[in-house]
């Protein structure tokens, strides 16, 4: 091979690598909206019902079983939106979970957990964050609407800067990346999207004192209009971590909340917050986790 051929061969290899890097770095997925194409049933298919067009899916809980589904793909950073209509009537003891998880022994996980209640009491929404298998980061709010009457949108924005839990676009919780200060943050493990309904009567409602009333079964929760705009996992974490046109969520303008979002978050925390692990001095024996003393935005 002469010098010219070597140069051209090198250029071709370089071009292929560059094209591969571009493809991976902008591997953003905007979902099909079809549950049958983007998700599989984790357990109890007899308790899962999907509309003919695949746009709506319901999960059922009865004395026989709960049910759940999971995304076919895994993602590292992005935004996931899901419209959910929760169990109507007496839902005490039931737990509806919508979450991202890495499915590993020392796993990362970002949780929405909807805790059913007795009639007349509000649905409670608990969020939690697992990093390297450790949680103890629960927050709990009461919702300001009836989530069983209509569909509402529940979103997780996860980027290299922060994690933001949102309800109908309103931030209800922020967890910042303070990795440079020794605070754990999920940066490396891709996560799948999961949803389930199950029996949590041992703890979910009034500390487990209000049990499931099985005469009200089956308990149904419905999902629709999901959107997955995230970095599809191809085995290269660094390509999901870059700020590129495809990875819009890593852009600096999504590194913190806007002024309006900060005001909305303050409103939620002032009027609807019920529990924050960062206020639980007794639980942590007055040694709160490090992130509790650091800014949220």
The active-site residue out of 64, 113, 180, 291 is 113
d(CA 33, CA 92): 31
Give exposure, 1-12, as e/b (b: 16+ Cβ within 10 Å): eeeeeeeeeeee
The answer to whether 62 and 47 have CB atoms below 8 angstroms apart is yes
**Any bridge partners for residue 276, and if so which?**
139
Cβ atoms of 219 and 62 closer than 8 Å: yes
The one catalytic residue in 64, 109, 138, 201 is 109
Token pair for 268: 């939620």
Q: How far apart are CA 110 and CA 78, in angstroms?
A: 13
Q: Confirm whether 201 is a catalytic residue.
A: no
Can you read off the two tokens belonging to residue 76?
Answer: 């590292």
Q: How far apart are the first and last CA of the chain?
A: 58
What the block records as the tokens of 134 is 């450790």
Alpha carbons 281 and 195: distance in angstroms, whole number: 32
Radius of gyration of the chain, Cα coordinates, nearest whole angstrom: 21
Nearest to 70 by CA among 195, 199, 253, 254: 195
Q: Please list the helix, strand and coil fractions of the chain in percent, rounded to the nearest 5, in that order.
A: 25, 35, 40
What sign has the CA pseudo-torsion 240, 246, 252, 253? negative
Q: For residue 62, say if its preceding peptide bond is cis, omega within 30 degrees of 0.
A: no
Enumerate the active-site residues. Answer: 109, 113
């Amino acid at each position: 091979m002469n010098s010219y051929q070597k140069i051209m061969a090198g250029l071709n290899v370089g071009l292929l690598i560059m094209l591969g890097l571009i493809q991976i770095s902008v591997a953003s997925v905007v979902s099909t909206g079809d549950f049958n194409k983007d998700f599989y049933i984790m357990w109890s298919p007899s308790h899962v019902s999907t509309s003919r067009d695949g746009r709506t899916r319901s999960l059922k809980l009865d004395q026989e079983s709960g049910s759940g589904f999971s995304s076919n793909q895994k993602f590292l950073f992005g935004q996931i939106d899901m419209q959910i209509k929760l169990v109507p009537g007496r839902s005490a003891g039931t737990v509806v979970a919508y979450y991202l998880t890495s499915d590993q022994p020392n796993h990362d996980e970002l949780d929405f957990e909807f805790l059913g209640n007795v009639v007349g009491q509000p649905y409670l929404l608990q969020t939690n964050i697992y990093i390297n298998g450790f949680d103890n980061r629960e927050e709990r709010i009461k919702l300001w609407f009836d989530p069983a009457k209509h569909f509402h949108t529940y979103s997780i924005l996860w980027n290299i800067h922060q994690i933001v839990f949102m309800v109908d676009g309103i931030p209800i919780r922020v967890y910042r990346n303070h990795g440079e200060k020794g605070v754990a943050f999920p940066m490396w493990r891709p996560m799948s999207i999961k949803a389930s309904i199950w029996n949590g009567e041992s703890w979910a409602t009034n500390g487990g004192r209000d049990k499931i009333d099985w005469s009200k079964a089956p308990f149904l929760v419905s999902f629709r209009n999901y959107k997955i705009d995230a970095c599809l996992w191809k085995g290269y974490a660094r390509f999901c971590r870059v700020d590129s046109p495809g990875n819009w969520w890593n852009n600096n303008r999504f590194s913190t909340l806007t002024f309006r979002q900060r005001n909305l978050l303050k409103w939620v925390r002032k009027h609807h917050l019920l529990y924050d692990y960062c206020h639980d001095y007794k639980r942590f024996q007055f040694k709160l986790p490090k992130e509790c003393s650091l800014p949220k935005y």
